[in-house]
């Protein structure tokens, strides 16, 4: 079942001049956080950040969503508040982090307040001496508040690291004995993330802080890999959870006895909130976890009665894209007993929360390129097959369970940057509270019918799903040039979802039909389909793309297949380079490669999946690496190609971009090179993003005959 119809009614009639969805609009439009709902389920807080092209500044407001009406009002505090937790004497009591402390340089402060009162009068309850973040808190029987936060900590004594007060070394040299040296866009330093616990004691009706913050990881014994939570680079407060009774903290950390260079393994640990005992593992070796469960663990979450944890873990010890399986651990003190849940379900859950009575799990898992919600009994047998109670209309980003059992969902899709809605698990009925395309002038005109999808037969006979984006004034009787997008990963999807970096709906408004196939290797179509890209980077996926080209040629009359450009980032950029050396490359007017690999033999700037995807190490399996190397086919490069590569990209390093551009220039192939010294694998700064969009759109518009000339204003002349 889809959304209630009201969600699809576009608020304003468009009149004669259609609103074009431009990069300026996309970059200025509100970016809303997910909704943080209060205990009674009446109101939720979210933040919203906009950008102003006159002042070149962003600004953030906090807002209150009325869950019954969808009405939004401004919260009584400003963007000095970085995080809020609902806790205290009333349903509108909060505890928040104020990121700008006036007491300690580089520190933060904790405040309590009640947003239900007429006058907002916050009380500062603690000053913390470092930039702590990731607040989770619970009220104990005594009325005190037990909380946890995370922060970088000193390697030698475990105390919290405050970069504003730290000594700056005289030399910038950095010496390493073990991985990792870099993460995405920065070099690692000595300090490691840790979680710290603290108590706001209830004394005579007010809260007092004695200044003690305990590093809960510092005492954890390890032989090879130092404990760290959140697990960088992608971890956050989802990597730990405090039991509702306040006694125990569950957290993730990497396997302490294994090297990070060739293992992805991480485990859940338990530690008393007061730090009175060493942390003990829930899963991993010598626990009650099944021996098959060896890989990456995620998202430990307590049941409301503090007696159980749910989490997910992959089997593979060195494979980042294995399927996550669900586990429930019964907890008794620091002891635990693990049971796998619905383990034969061929789906890879990313988050599970307990129903209030602890009998069911509300689970987020992706199907056909959209995160959906599923209900699973907390004791489900191996063969249990859950059903989804949300559909493909939007991609779930986060959710909360309301007191009546409904889910309050924060999601998005290609036509709306944020939808807040409620969904009932029993009959899947939904109610939209707010959809960005109905309230944000920048998103005017975006609608669900601007995207569709079809399935076609791929290179090895599998059915492949392909998403199609239409310009807002789409007319099926016209013929449109074609943007042939290839997603990154390769083990990630790019379906009907919102992106501030690759917003395919916005690309369509340049006057194109945009396609985005979920080729072999894409998750959410069964684990075998994901795994089939192993040893096969330029194989089946390439043939899937060839088949897409002929499918569109034969079946879609409104696409001018002789006026097409192909574009892609990361693995999609690799695929552009692979296509450039092969027949498919000759079918495009131009190509765009963003941060893609040119030289597959230079694989080890990344770890783990490189060895997995090439079926072994380069020293034992050189031919596997060489087999799918785009550079070895450079003799065929001849299609005009735009190359973007950024200096701080430490995943696919800048040399890949230089090599590609140098080869194209040496061959005399029309080419441009765009680079940002202050960006990594992704272009995040809005001013940079505008230049990125303008120069790439000009490139594709020029080669498809829409623009008369290539942009010259920012070009560096020789």
Ligand X SMILES: *[C@@H]1O[C@H](CO)[C@@H](O)[C@H](O)[C@H]1NC(C)=O
- State the catalytic residues: 570, 649, 681
The two tokens of residue 440 are 């944000």
Cβ count within 10 A of residue 555 = 10
Closest approach, Cβ 306 to ligand X, in A, equals 26
* Comparison of 241 and 438: residue with beta carbon closer to ligand X: 438
Cβ count within 10 A of residue 274 = 16
**Does residue 539 interact with ligand X by CB under 6 A?**
no
**Does residue 203 interact with ligand X by CB under 6 A?**
yes
**Does residue 535 interact with ligand X by CB under 6 A?**
yes
Closest approach, Cβ 257 to ligand X, in A, equals 5
Closest approach, Cβ 715 to ligand X, in A, equals 25
User: Contact with ligand X (CB under 6 A): which of 212, 555, 636, 655?
Assistant: 636
Stretch that binds ligand X, among 547-555, 559-567, 602-610, 678-686 (CB under 6 A): 559-567
d(CA 525, CA 541): 14
User: Contact with ligand X (CB under 6 A): which of 49, 202, 288, 563?
Assistant: 563
Closest approach, Cβ 236 to ligand X, in A, equals 23
**Does residue 477 interact with ligand X by CB under 6 A?**
no
Query: How far is CA 207 from each of CA 130, 319, 415, 573, rounded to the nearest angstrom?
Result: 21, 46, 46, 54
d(CA 141, CA 155): 35
User: Contact with ligand X (CB under 6 A): which of 74, 236, 335, 346?
Assistant: 346
Stretch that binds ligand X, among 13-21, 99-107, 331-339, 597-605 (CB under 6 A): 99-107
* Comparison of 78 and 164: residue with beta carbon closer to ligand X: 78
User: Contact with ligand X (CB under 6 A): which of 106, 116, 122, 405?
Assistant: 122
User: Contact with ligand X (CB under 6 A): which of 156, 171, 276, 718?
Assistant: 156
Sheet with 451-457: strands ordered across: 451-457, 463-469, 513-517, 480-486, 559-569, 590-594, 641-644, 671-674
Binding mask 19-58 for ligand X (x = CB under 6 A): ---------------------------------x-xx---
Closest approach, Cβ 716 to ligand X, in A, equals 30
- What value, to the nearest 5°, has the Cα angle with vertex 206 and ends 203 and 207? 80
C-beta of residue 451 within 8 angstroms of C-beta of residue 458: no
Closest approach, Cβ 78 to ligand X, in A, equals 6
* Comparison of 615 and 665: residue with beta carbon closer to ligand X: 615
User: Contact with ligand X (CB under 6 A): which of 81, 299, 395, 567?
Assistant: 81
**Does residue 98 interact with ligand X by CB under 6 A?**
yes
- What value, to the nearest 5°, has the Cα angle with vertex 635 and ends 633 and 641? 85
C-beta of residue 484 within 8 angstroms of C-beta of residue 565: yes
**Does residue 670 interact with ligand X by CB under 6 A?**
no
**Going along 430-541, which residue ranges are E strands?**
430-435, 451-457, 463-469, 480-486, 513-517
d(CA 96, CA 82): 7
Closest approach, Cβ 233 to ligand X, in A, equals 21
C-beta of residue 644 within 8 angstroms of C-beta of residue 695: no
User: Contact with ligand X (CB under 6 A): which of 5, 56, 69, 291?
Assistant: 69
**Does residue 8 interact with ligand X by CB under 6 A?**
no
**Does residue 100 interact with ligand X by CB under 6 A?**
yes
d(CA 588, CA 564): 5
Closest approach, Cβ 310 to ligand X, in A, equals 22
Stretch that binds ligand X, among 35-43, 86-94, 555-563, 641-649 (CB under 6 A): 555-563
Binding mask 364-393 for ligand X (x = CB under 6 A): ----x-------------------xxxxx-
* Comparison of 14 and 165: residue with beta carbon closer to ligand X: 165
The two tokens of residue 349 are 């859950």
Please tell me the count of residues contacting ligand X according to CB under 6 A. Answer: 56
C-beta of residue 53 within 8 angstroms of C-beta of residue 23: no
Stretch that binds ligand X, among 73-81, 397-405, 639-647, 663-671 (CB under 6 A): 73-81
C-beta of residue 265 within 8 angstroms of C-beta of residue 294: yes
User: Contact with ligand X (CB under 6 A): which of 3, 21, 51, 77?
Assistant: 77
**Does residue 106 interact with ligand X by CB under 6 A?**
no
Closest approach, Cβ 472 to ligand X, in A, equals 19
**Does residue 80 interact with ligand X by CB under 6 A?**
yes
* Comparison of 516 and 646: residue with beta carbon closer to ligand X: 516
CA 197 from centroid of its chain's CA atoms = 27
**Which residues on adjacent β-strands are paired with residue 313?**
297, 325
**Going along 17-128, which residue ranges are E strands?**
31-32, 36-37, 43-52, 57-66, 72-74, 81-86, 93-98, 108-114, 123-128
* Comparison of 100 and 174: residue with beta carbon closer to ligand X: 100
Residue with tokens 């930039």: 131
Cβ count within 10 A of residue 608 = 18
* Comparison of 80 and 247: residue with beta carbon closer to ligand X: 80
Question: Which of 570, 579, 566 is CA-nearest to residue 628?
Answer: 579
C-beta of residue 254 within 8 angstroms of C-beta of residue 225: yes
Q: Pairing between strand 513-517 and 590-594?
A: unpaired
Closest approach, Cβ 682 to ligand X, in A, equals 25
**Which residues on adjacent β-strands are paired with residue 641?**
591, 671
Closest approach, Cβ 481 to ligand X, in A, equals 7
Binding mask 250-279 for ligand X (x = CB under 6 A): -------x-x--xx----------------
Cβ count within 10 A of residue 137 = 19
Stretch that binds ligand X, among 95-103, 566-574, 691-699, 709-717 (CB under 6 A): 95-103
d(CA 650, CA 425): 43
483, exposed or middle or buried, with CB in 10 Å at 0-12, 13-18, 19+? buried
Binders of ligand X among residues 413 to 472 (CB under 6 A) are 428
**Does residue 121 interact with ligand X by CB under 6 A?**
no
Query: How far is CA 365 from each of CA 371, 387, 390, 395, 491, rounded to the nearest angstrom?
Result: 5, 11, 11, 10, 15
* Comparison of 607 and 648: residue with beta carbon closer to ligand X: 607
Could you list the residues that contact ligand X (CB under 6 A)? 1, 52, 54-55, 69, 71, 73, 77-78, 80-81, 98, 100-102, 111, 122, 154, 156-157, 159, 203-204, 257, 259, 262-263, 285-286, 317-318, 346, 368, 388-392, 428, 479, 526, 528, 534-535, 560, 562-563, 581-583, 615, 624, 633, 635-636, 705
């Amino acid at each position: 079942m889809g959304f209630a119809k009201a969600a699809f009614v576009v608020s304003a009639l468009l009149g004669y001049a259609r609103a074009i969805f431009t990069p300026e609009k996309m970059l200025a439009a509100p970016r809303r956080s997910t909704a943080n709902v209060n205990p009674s389920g009446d109101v939720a807080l979210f933040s919203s950040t906009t950008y102003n092209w006159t002042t070149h500044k962003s600004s953030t407001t906090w807002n209150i969503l009325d869950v019954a009406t969808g009405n939004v009002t401004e919260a009584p505090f400003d963007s000095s508040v970085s995080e809020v937790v609902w806790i205290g004497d009333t349903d509108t009591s909060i505890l928040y982090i104020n990121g700008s402390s006036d007491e300690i340089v580089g520190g933060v402060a904790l405040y309590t307040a009640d947003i239900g009162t007429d006058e907002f009068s916050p009380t500062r309850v603690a000053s913390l001496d470092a930039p702590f973040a990731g607040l989770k808190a619970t009220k104990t029987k005594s009325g005190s508040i037990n909380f946890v936060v995370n922060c970088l900590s000193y390697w030698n004594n475990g105390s919290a690291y405050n970069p504003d007060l730290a000594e700056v070394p005289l030399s910038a040299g950095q010496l390493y004995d073990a991985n990792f040296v870099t993460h995405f866009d920065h070099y690692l330093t000595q300090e490691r993330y840790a979680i710290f616990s603290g108590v706001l004691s209830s004394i005579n009706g007010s809260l007092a802080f004695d200044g003690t913050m305990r590093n809960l990881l510092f005492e954890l014994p390890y032989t090879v890999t130092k404990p760290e939570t959140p697990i960088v680079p992608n971890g956050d407060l989802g990597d730990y959870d405090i039991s509702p009774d306040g006694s125990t903290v569950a957290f993730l950390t990497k396997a302490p006895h294994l090297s990070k260079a060739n293992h992805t393994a991480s485990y859940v640990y338990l530690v008393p909130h007061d730090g009175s005992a060493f942390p003990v593992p829930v899963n991993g070796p010598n626990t009650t976890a099944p021996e098959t469960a060896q890989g990456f663990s995620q998202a430990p979450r307590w049941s409301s009665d503090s007696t159980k944890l749910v989490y997910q873990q992959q089997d593979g010890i060195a494979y980042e894209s294995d399927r996550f399986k669900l586990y429930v651990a019964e907890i008794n003190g620091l002891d635990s007993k693990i049971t796998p849940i619905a383990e034969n379900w061929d789906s890879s859950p990313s988050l599970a929360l307990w129903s209030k009575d602890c009998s069911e799990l509300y689970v987020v898992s992706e199907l056909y390129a959209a995160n959906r919600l599923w209900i699973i009994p907390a004791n489900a047998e191996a063969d249990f097959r859950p059903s989804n109670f949300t559909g493909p209309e939007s991609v779930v980003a986060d959710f909360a369970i309301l007191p009546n059992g409904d889910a309050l969902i924060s999601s998005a899709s290609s036509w709306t940057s944020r939808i807040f809605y409620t969904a009932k698990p029993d009959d899947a009925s939904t109610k939209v509270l707010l959809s960005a395309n109905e309230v944000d002038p920048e998103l005017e005109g975006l609608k669900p019918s601007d995207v569709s999808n079809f399935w076609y037969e791929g290179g090895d006979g599998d059915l492949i799903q392909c998403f199609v984006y239409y310009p807002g004034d789409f007319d099926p009787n016209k013929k449109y040039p074609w943007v042939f997008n290839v997603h990154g990963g390769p083990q990630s999807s790019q379906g009907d979802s919102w992106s501030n970096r690759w917003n395919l709906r916005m690309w369509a408004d340049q006057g194109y039909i945009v396609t985005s196939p979920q080729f072999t290797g894409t998750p959410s179509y069964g684990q075998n389909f994901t795994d089939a890209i192993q040893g096969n980077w330029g194989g089946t996926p390439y043939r899937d793309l060839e088949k897409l080209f002929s499918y569109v040629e034969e079946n879609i009359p409104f696409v001018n297949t002789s006026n097409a450009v192909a574009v892609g980032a990361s693995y999609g950029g690799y695929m552009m380079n692979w296509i450039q050396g092969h027949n498919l490359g000759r079918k495009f007017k131009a190509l765009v490669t963003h941060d893609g690999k040119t030289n597959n033999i230079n694989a080890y700037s990344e770890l783990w999946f490189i060895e997995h995807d090439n079926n072994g190490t380069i020293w034992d399996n050189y031919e596997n690496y060489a087999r799918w190397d785009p550079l070895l086919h450079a003799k065929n490069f001849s299609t005009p190609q735009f190359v973007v590569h950024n200096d701080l990209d430490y995943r696919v390093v800048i040399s890949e971009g230089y090599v590609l551009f140098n080869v194209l220039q040496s061959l005399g192939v029309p080419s441009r090179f765009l680079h940002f010294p202050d960006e990594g694998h992704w272009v995040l700064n809005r001013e940079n993003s505008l230049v990125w969009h303008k120069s790439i759109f000009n490139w594709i518009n020029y080669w498809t005959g829409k623009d008369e000339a290539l942009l010259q204003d920012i070009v560096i002349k020789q």
